[in-house]
A = this chain, B = another copy of it.
Amino acid sequence: MKLSGGVEWALHCCVVLTAATAPVPAARLAELHDVSGSYLAKQLQALSRAGLVDSVQGKAGGYVLTRDAGQITVLDVVEAVDGAEPAFVCTEIRRRGPLAKPPEACTRPCPIARAMAEADAAWRAALRGISVADLAGSVGEDSGPTVLADIGAWLSPGGGGAGAPRE
């Protein structure tokens, strides 16, 4: 079992978007994190499709969080990028083979599927209990409250070294 690597990128993007005051283009987010811009764009599109971020087009366009960071859970981001399907899918093995159970006797999921579903629910509950705002708060505790502000300034047009005029 492996989680898509894009999940990490998407989470970082959501956290830094907390500090942004204007739409941030995907290219700038990619430069900040030093990752492939084209591939990051794909993750942001997934976030947009899920309704977590709004995409504004045009010259000063980019991505913005659609709602307060406290209302976006980590689970929302994970499911947006990685899909909401559970990790375990029961193929109803018990209905196959020479000793197959008759379908009418299978009113509830088999014990194995129930166990896996329970674990899946625990995992999702843990992720649902943490919001993007919580993550941003933890970043402030870890590295001081100025880092996020610095990132926000760097993200704003003209703030970074790339787009800044040099005369």
> Is A11's CB under 8 angstroms from B135's CB?
no
> Is A15's CB under 8 angstroms from B138's CB?
no
Interface: A91 (CB within 8 A): yes
In-complex Cβ contact of A87 among B3, B114, B115 (8 A): B3
Q: Contacts A1-B2, A98-B32 known; A8 to B90 CB distance under 8 Å?
A: yes
CA gap between A1 and B96 in the complex, in Å: 26
Interface residues of A in 1-31 (CB under 8 A from B): 1-5, 7-9, 11-12, 15, 31
Q: Which residues of B have CB within 8 Å of A50?
A: none
> Is B88's CB under 8 angstroms from A7's CB?
yes
Q: Which residues of B have CB within 8 Å of A139?
A: 110-111
In-complex Cβ contact of A98 among B118, B120, B161 (8 A): B161
What are 23 of the A-B contact pairs (CB < 8 Å)? Answer: A1-B1, A1-B82, A3-B87, A3-B116, A8-B88, A8-B90, A8-B91, A8-B112, A12-B94, A31-B98, A32-B97, A33-B97, A34-B97, A34-B100, A35-B96, A99-B151, A110-B139, A110-B142, A111-B139, A111-B142, A114-B138, A115-B135, A118-B130
